[in-house]
Amino acid sequence: MNRTMTTKTFVLLLTLALFALVLFGCPLIGPTTVSWAKVFQAWPPSPDNQDAQIFFSVRLPRNLLAALAGAAMACAGIVFQAVLRNPLACPFTLGVAGGSSFGAVVAILLGLTALSHGFSLVTLFSFLGALLSLFLVYSLASLLRSYSAITLLLAGVAINYFFNALVLLVYYVADFTQAYAMIHWMVGSLDVVEWASVVKLSLGIGVGFLVLLALARELNLLSAGEELAQVKGVPTTRVIILAIVVASLMTSAVVALTGPIAFVGLIIPHIYRLWIGNDHRFLLPCSTLGGGAFLMVCDTVARSFFGPSEVPVGVLTALLGVPVLLWLLFRRRTYLAV
């Protein structure tokens, strides 16, 4: 069952190639087919080159957003699973989904859907909501003077339920149009996006990923147990707080733009755990790239094959991801037996 370095490196390179292929391939697919040759006919592309306009102004930024969102979710999923030592943990385990949904629905209820400084107020509110939920979870943990897995897990679940109840309350008092907008936001979608926000997001996600990658070996030890990590020389409390804060910020930033897209952060990590094992030095980059590629594919399917309208990408992630996970699970039953 041990995977050699060569296998792990091969899977990493394969995932990287897949990521690159999907990043530039998916924008060619859609209700209007775009030709690669035509897009790069001339550089810079002329304004009347319709293929280039669709490619660069509409589909590429959207595809990049999908890549960033999927990558951040899968990366954060790995980190939460390792630190909380819980295979069911995902980026939303510490209440980020509840908090950000609450922020978004409040903004929608108050009619704050206009843009301000290039950002929608709904985005801003949802980011603040996510931060609020994290602040509450950490306050609870520090009140109890424990950052152990079980404290964080229980605090996160409690805060998430609390915000979900508030979301339902807001939903209940909203009118029909607002309620539709709220549901649309909560399912998660990638439809409205500008280059500016994609660039800002990519900087944030990139820095976050590098910080977490530098903690890969500590994550190996933490996922094996807090005491074990400490006796092998890991300053556990410091590393746990750093990893969780970075992963949470990445999640909050993505969720504020896209809504809580479910399952990517849970399924992609497990697919790679089954495939290459639990060494975070490989698991983290593989999962991050794989999550990005997976969400790009899902989004392409969601916007292309259900014309004239789109299917919310959050629905497709589950429909496409679950069979892959189950297939791997049946192939490697020992995964469950340990």
Partner 1 sequence: MPLFEIQNLSFRYPSHSGFELHSTNLSIEQGGLVGLLGPNGAGKSTLLKLMVGLAAPQQGRVVFEGKPLKDLPVRERARKIAYVPQGLHFTFPLSVMEIVEMGRHPYLGRLKPLGAQDRQICERALSLCDALEFKDRSYGELSGGERQRVLLASALAQTPRVLLLDEPTLSLDLSHQILLFEIIRKLHREEGLTVVVATHELNLAGRFLDRLVLMKGGKVFAEGAPKKVLTPRNIHSVLEVEVDQLKPKGGFPYFVPKKKLNIVSPSERGGIRGS
Applying CB under 8 A, the residues found at the interface with partner 1 are 1-3, 81-82, 85-87, 214, 217-218, 220-221, 223-225, 227-228, 230-235, 273, 277-279, 334-335, 337-338
DSSP secondary-structure letter at 56?
I
Q: How many CB atoms lie within 10 A of CB 210?
A: 11
C-beta of 93 vs 101, nearer to partner 1: 93
C-beta of 5 vs 173, nearer to partner 1: 5
Contact 318, 263 (CB under 8 A): yes
Shortest approach of partner 1 to residue 61 CB, angstroms?
Answer: 32
C-beta of 201 vs 234, nearer to partner 1: 234
C-beta of 309 vs 334, nearer to partner 1: 334
Shortest approach of partner 1 to residue 261 CB, angstroms?
Answer: 24
Shortest approach of partner 1 to residue 2 CB, angstroms?
Answer: 4
| Three-state SS at 119 | strand
Shortest approach of partner 1 to residue 247 CB, angstroms?
Answer: 17
- Cα distances from 218 to residues 153, 155, 212, 229, 287, in angstroms, run 20, 24, 10, 7, 17
C-beta of 233 vs 307, nearer to partner 1: 233
Shortest approach of partner 1 to residue 280 CB, angstroms?
Answer: 10
Q: Tokens 């339920």 — which residue? A: 161
Contact 25, 154 (CB under 8 A): no
Report the amino acid identity of residue 241: I
Shortest approach of partner 1 to residue 83 CB, angstroms?
Answer: 11
Shortest approach of partner 1 to residue 216 CB, angstroms?
Answer: 10
Q: How many CB atoms lie within 10 A of CB 170?
A: 19
C-beta of 144 vs 326, nearer to partner 1: 144
Report the amino acid identity of residue 138: Y
C-beta of 175 vs 227, nearer to partner 1: 227
C-beta of 1 vs 114, nearer to partner 1: 1
Radius of gyration of the chain (CA): 20
Shortest approach of partner 1 to residue 16 CB, angstroms?
Answer: 19
d(CA 314, CA 319): 9
Beta strands in the chain (DSSP E): 115-116, 119-120
| Three-state SS at 116 | strand
| Three-state SS at 233 | coil
Question: Going by C-beta distance under 8 Å and a sequence separation of 6 or more, which residues neighbour residue 298?
Answer: 66, 70, 313, 316, 317, 320
Contact 171, 182 (CB under 8 A): yes
